[in-house]
Amino acid sequence: MSNLDTAKSIEIISPDSPQVERIAAFVHDGIDLDSPPREVQPSSFWQRINGAETSLWIDSGDIESIDSLWNEQFSGLTTNNTLLNREIQNGIYDDLIPSAQDLVGNLRGQALLREIAFILNVRHALRLVERFRCDVSVELHTDVANDTEATLAYARRCHQICPEFFIVKVPLTPAGLIAIKQLRDEDIRVNCTLGFSARQNYVATALSRPSFVNVFLGRLNSYVAENQLGDGNLVGEKTTLASQGEVATFTRGLPRTDTRQIAASLREASQLPRLAGVDVITMPLKVARQAEETLQDPWQSQLHDTYDVHLFDKIDPETVHLEKLWAVRKIERSFVQKAILSPPTDGDQLREMAADYDLEDLFPVMADEQLSTIAEDGKIPNHQRWQDGIVRGDLAIDSLMTLAGLASFTDAQAKLDQRISEHLR
């Protein structure tokens, strides 16, 4: 299947059906969110080191490992399909799967797997909330990434289960952006995930007003380094700071927009002070532990600084267009202005509107064979394979990385679904 919208092609349970209420009661069973939260200790290290007052989140779903590090300076958790799959593969929910199946026995095939995966996902997220009483970003099944109606249905149900603490993660696809706009109109908090550039996040903020946008900065550094385009140093950091500036500027100009920037996909503790001042940093557990072992000086805000990034001398910049990661050009601003004045009603209209402004590379249409190749490449695409499209302008590193990230999550989701299928009656 291509990455065009598949509107209304996915079987869903209506959010207002009695079955949804039974599922919500099932996932809440045994979870106590009314008792006083447990006492959390302060951390002199994180109090001292975080001079920029950036919000700190942990990127993990491993309750015991989080617990060993958690302190009052952390305020949120992010999960995704890959992290949830790690927890499911540990077998902690194997006994829950048959009971979940009883609730949704009217569904068959992939619809059944998708529904049980949703149940396990929100159940685990509720356990995180119960333990840490913080915001938890909850990822939807990858099946719905290009389906606006299915995204809306699952996002509404997710929100209804825990409106105080759940933030629904929706990927930065055309269908996703249309869904995010509607969800925000309903006051549902959304984390627009799989962003890789300032221009992507500028478009998302302007058109859809998500609560959060992301730059998966570690993957950008890896893209440049692994493809031998440069040493990769500071590519993601430069992009994140640029995106923070664009998001903050736009947010200040619109009263109903409160979008915040997340620095995501950190690889090592040394990146933390380079991102000081960004709204939110979400870090893996190993980065947080490394920080406690190695960092000493308090962070100073980097928001008014910029980083120099260089390609190797042998690389023609026109074959990479790295500047599209951090620059928002007049053409993107004109496209956004048009889309605000004449809002697209679905993802295909949004993609066509971008193409009218010669921005095919924002939301490229990929054939099934191309998407399979992206999936085979893994999280870091082979630049040489896609260079011609980048030169022509029908593809760019940011949109390519979004597709690769979604493919990676889809692979993890498939493994999770397989685990579920093995424990069905």
What is the arithmetic mean of pLDDT over 153-173? 97
CA-angle at 111, arms to 159 and 143, nearest 5°: 65
What is the arithmetic mean of pLDDT over 281-299? 97
Report the distance separating Cα 69 and Cα 341, nearest Å: 47
Q: Give me the pLDDT at residue 6, please.
A: 53
DSSP string, 20-78: HHHHHHHHHTT---SSPPPP----HHHHHH-TT--EEEEE---HHHHHTT--TTEEEEE
pLDDT band at 213 (very low <50, low <70, confident <90, very high): very high
8-state DSSP, 193: E
Alpha helix ranges (H) inside 104-147? 109-132
Q: What is the mean pLDDT of the chain?
A: 95
Report the distance separating Cα 374 and Cα 407, nearest Å: 7
Residue 379, classed as helix, strand or coil, is coil
294 contact partners, CB below 8 Å, separation of at least 6: 269, 270
Beta bridge partners of 215: 263
Beta bridge partners of 167: 137
Q: Give me the pLDDT at residue 252, please.
A: 81
Return the structure tokens found at 40: 């959390």
pLDDT in tens, 68-102: 999 999 999 999 999 999 999 999 999 999 999 99
What is the arithmetic mean of pLDDT over 401-421? 96
pLDDT in tens, 363-375: 999 999 999 999 9
Residue 90, classed as helix, strand or coil, is coil
pLDDT in tens, 233-279: 999 999 999 999 999 998 887 777 899 999 999 999 999 999 999 99
What is the arithmetic mean of pLDDT over 184-197? 98
Select from 174, 267, 177, 173 the least CA-distant residue to 220: 267
Return the structure tokens found at 413: 């989701």
What is the arithmetic mean of pLDDT over 277-295? 97
What is the arithmetic mean of pLDDT over 42-48? 95
Q: Give me the pLDDT at residue 7, please.
A: 46
Contact indicator for 338, 370 with CB cutoff of 8 Å: no
> Residue 34 to residues 67, 133, 158, 278: CA-CA distances in angstroms?
20, 11, 19, 33
Give the number of C-alpha atoms closer than 13 A to the C-alpha of residue 111, restricted to the C-beta side: 11
Contact indicator for 363, 399 with CB cutoff of 8 Å: yes
Contact indicator for 276, 52 with CB cutoff of 8 Å: yes
Q: Give me the pLDDT at residue 1, please.
A: 54
What is the arithmetic mean of pLDDT over 306-332? 97
Return the structure tokens found at 138: 């909850």
**How much is the pTM?**
0.96
Beta bridge partners of 136: 77, 166
Contact indicator for 293, 165 with CB cutoff of 8 Å: no
Q: Give me the pLDDT at residue 14, please.
A: 81
Q: Which region, left, alpha or beta, applies to residue 53 given φ > 0 means left and ψ of -120 to 50 means alpha?
A: left
Q: Give me the pLDDT at residue 250, please.
A: 87
What is the arithmetic mean of pLDDT over 221-234? 98
Of the chain, the end-to-end C-alpha distance in Å amounts to 30
